[in-house]
Structure 1
Amino acid sequence: MNSCLLSHTSSVFDRADPHVVSSYVNEHMGMHDIRMPRLGQPAASLNHRKFASLDLCRISYGGSVQVTSPALETVYHLQVLLQGHCLWRGGGEKHPFSPGELLLINPDDPVDLTYSADCEKFIIKLPSSLLDKTCRDHHWQPPEDGIRFKPRYNLHQLEGFQGLLQLVCVEAESTHTLQQVQEQFTRILCAKLLTLLDSNVSRLPLEQGAASFERILHFIEANLKHDISVEQLARLAHSSPRSLYALFERHTGTTPKSFIRQKKLEQIRSSLTDPASRVRNVTQVALDYGFVHLGRFSESYKNAFGELPSDTLRRQKAPNPSV
């Protein structure tokens, strides 16, 4: 595959001991082990650049090698095969990668790769926190147990992605690159990954998310006297609890529990100020709305409305002065 993904200006090792190169990879790209034939003297090469929160590298071991790792933990590896062949094993499957194919390794995926002697790869190490932030920025819904991608793709079928990788490499090797520009490219790269590659992220349209929130509001209003759990609301919105928190942050600026507590307090205040509600005492109405710790309830009420609930009730029951 003809590519300009990291040139010789990014060279760190050229025709070096593969185990020395492997140690460098362990430090910068993620922990792994290599196994090579005892015969011969393979010469490894590696180009490397830091790019905002990413690490970019172009690597060849110069000989047949097996690369293994139990898991990458908090990073994703995007690997593009440039030349040679690579056999991937994972999830009870195996697939021989050819030049132009892309492998996406999730953080909790065991790594088992066998490189041909002429194999060369371009690899991006991408922290999982970047993809989580991209989801929040776009109001997408990642699952609670983490974002996962399907592993295999043809780079030429991912519209515009090869050109984006080339632009990233050009910017990484520029002598005048700015940190803000690198961070902007990184955001674009993460967004492209989440839109072009198959993943478990739900990208609901904004209006669909708004409809879900409207449905949640109606449910809360109708059930203020009952215990309402985050899990109930998440099921109602067809989302994960984490995505539900993001939905509330976007629409209310607070958490689901805080929003529900505020709505309960507002309804209690309405009852305490309504002569037709026939509230006998504060304890009765507090317990009706699930406040069993009356001291905490009074404190929350005063923080919200500037007076104790007993003061509100007393003022409502006070006789009107004659005119």
Structure 2
Amino acid sequence: MEVSLLSLSAADEPLRQHGRLHTDDVGVAQDVVAEVFEPHTLEPLAAKRLDARLNAVQIGEVTLGYLTYGTETRISLPPSGQWYHVNVTLAGSSRIARTDGERGETEGMRGAAVLLPHRTQTIEWAHDAAQFGIKIPRTALETHLSDLTRTQVTGPVDFGLIIDLTSRAGRGLLRCLDFVRREWDEDGVLAQHGGTRRHVEAMIMTNLLMAASGPHQNLLRQEHTTSRPAALKRALDYIHEHAHELPTLTDLTAAAGVSARTLQLQFLRNLGCTPLQYLRDVRLRAARAELLHPRSADVTVTDVATSWGFYNLGRFSSLYRSVYGETPSETLRRAKGG
């Protein structure tokens, strides 16, 4: 990503065809940005008039927006419990404070800030600051981390506050965002076809997880070590490759080459769940992915649920809602409406 591509002129700014806001009114800016991202408090810090601009697109469950205020501002973001945000500074600078005691600064093309769903954060923007804001549902990012590491992620991840965009992984995140920006700015194939957006969404989340610091890096590294028993790895591979076939415990023990008791113990010790609980969670995530990205306008919740082995629709709906905070029909309705 080159700085020249990120000119702040109205003609060249990223995602310019997807404008959501251009105003000097503080109240309007706060309301529209809150609608796209999350409720917050916006406070100008200088006498210079606000010049707020927001362009945004929806990529599956991920929101990507270009935002600038044109003057010094302070944003107070309370905990929501629902969203991770990443502010990728493209120009200017910002200062960030979190209630876990972390403080940091970002500079254009050198740093990004990770805002957590379970913390209060305060962000001060310089007058010339411009950022890509990425909003990702907590369930989506934690599910993606679970899939990458083949482990259970059951709580919010305490990512480090600042991402170093000059690092190898940081540069990868910038390249990923520039690719996405180009697709939407140039009306590329991926922008035109909704079915491909889940892959773009996954690419953004993968690059983010690789670039951000935090305890999740231990899980990512663990996938490249031999610390897990070989039988457990064989069982996990089998589950992810054959989940749609609804394998039984007998199938899993055959693939792993150990007894059912040994496999149960290895799952409990390493993942905190039984093999069939793990399989159920994989099937549930797959069902959600299909509901978020229906293959046709005629797809129903029943079609998706039964294809992944959830034949009791009431129980499926209850389980789904307990994990994702909405019913399967609400997810599908939103996906079709989008």
Q: TM-score range by the shorter chain?
A: 0.5 to 0.7
C-alpha deviation, 1:10, in angstroms: 2.3
For residues 120 and 78 of structure 1, the distance between their equivalents in structure 2, rounded to whole angstroms, comes to 13
Letter matched to residue 123 of structure 2: L
C-alpha deviation, 1:112, in angstroms: 0.4
Letter matched to residue 113 of structure 1: I
How does 1:144-163 map onto structure 2 within 5 Å? 144-157=154-167, 158-163=170-175
SS in 2 for 1:30: coil
* Pairing partner for 2:145 from 116, 126, 135: 135
Cα deviation digits, residues 134-169 of structure 1 (max 9, x gap): 234335324432333112122131242211101112
SS in 1 for 2:166: helix
The answer to whether the Cα contact below 8 Å between 1:75 and 1:126 also exists between their aligned partners in 2 is yes
C-alpha deviation, 1:220, in angstroms: 7.3
2:214 equivalent to 1:205: no
C-alpha deviation, 1:193, in angstroms: 2.1
* Pairing partner for 2:180 from 164, 168, 173: 168
2:74 equivalent to 1:56: no
Gaps of 5+ in 2: 7-12, 236-252, 284-338
Pick closer, same or farther for the CA change 1:22–1:185 going to 2, 3 Å: same
SS in 1 for 2:143: helix
C-alpha deviation, 1:208, in angstroms: 4.8
Cα deviation digits, residues 161-207 of structure 1 (max 9, x gap): 21110111222344352112211111122122223322333133386
The answer to whether the Cα contact below 8 Å between 1:54 and 1:124 also exists between their aligned partners in 2 is yes
Pick closer, same or farther for the CA change 1:235–1:185 going to 2, 3 Å: same
Cα deviation digits, residues 264-284 of structure 1 (max 9, x gap): xxxxxxxxxxxxxxxxxxxxx
For residues 112 and 126 of structure 2, the distance between their equivalents in structure 1, rounded to whole angstroms, comes to 16
- RMSD of the alignment, in Å? 3.4
Aligned-residue sequence identity (percent) comes to: 15
SS in 2 for 1:63: coil
Partner of 2:133: 123
* Pairing partner for 1:9 from 11, 17, 28: 17
Letter matched to residue 162 of structure 1: L
For residues 127 and 26 of structure 1, the distance between their equivalents in structure 2, rounded to whole angstroms, comes to 15
The answer to whether the Cα contact below 8 Å between 2:83 and 2:116 also exists between their aligned partners in 1 is yes
For residues 54 and 205 of structure 1, the distance between their equivalents in structure 2, rounded to whole angstroms, comes to 25
Letter matched to residue 151 of structure 2: Q
Pick closer, same or farther for the CA change 1:245–1:74 going to 2, 3 Å: farther
Partner of 1:310: none
Pick closer, same or farther for the CA change 1:183–1:143 going to 2, 3 Å: closer
* Pairing partner for 2:73 from 65, 77, 86: 65
Partner of 1:29: 37
How does 1:1-323 map onto structure 2 within 5 Å? 1-4=3-6, 6-37=14-45, 39-90=47-98, 91-100=100-109, 101-157=111-167, 158-175=170-187, 176=189, 177-201=192-216, 202-203=219-220, 204-205=222-223, 208-211=227-230, 213=232, 221=261, 236-237=269-270, 239=271, 241=272, 244-245=273-274, 249-250=278-279
C-alpha deviation, 1:15, in angstroms: 4.4
Letter matched to residue 122 of structure 1: F
The answer to whether the Cα contact below 8 Å between 1:106 and 1:148 also exists between their aligned partners in 2 is yes
For residues 105 and 210 of structure 1, the distance between their equivalents in structure 2, rounded to whole angstroms, comes to 35
C-alpha deviation, 1:125, in angstroms: 0.5
Letter matched to residue 33 of structure 1: T
Structure showing greater radius of gyration is 1
C-alpha deviation, 1:219, in angstroms: 9.7
C-alpha deviation, 1:104, in angstroms: 1.2
The answer to whether the Cα contact below 8 Å between 2:94 and 2:106 also exists between their aligned partners in 1 is yes
Pick closer, same or farther for the CA change 1:194–1:38 going to 2, 3 Å: closer
The answer to whether the Cα contact below 8 Å between 1:88 and 1:95 also exists between their aligned partners in 2 is yes
Scaled by the length of structure 2, the TM-score of the pair is 0.61
For residues 128 and 89 of structure 1, the distance between their equivalents in structure 2, rounded to whole angstroms, comes to 20
Scaled by the length of structure 1, the TM-score of the pair is 0.64
Q: Which moved more, 1:149-158 or 1:195-204?
A: 195-204
Pick closer, same or farther for the CA change 1:139–1:7 going to 2, 3 Å: closer
**Number of residue-to-residue matches in the alignment:** 242
The answer to whether the Cα contact below 8 Å between 1:136 and 1:246 also exists between their aligned partners in 2 is no
The answer to whether the Cα contact below 8 Å between 1:44 and 1:60 also exists between their aligned partners in 2 is yes
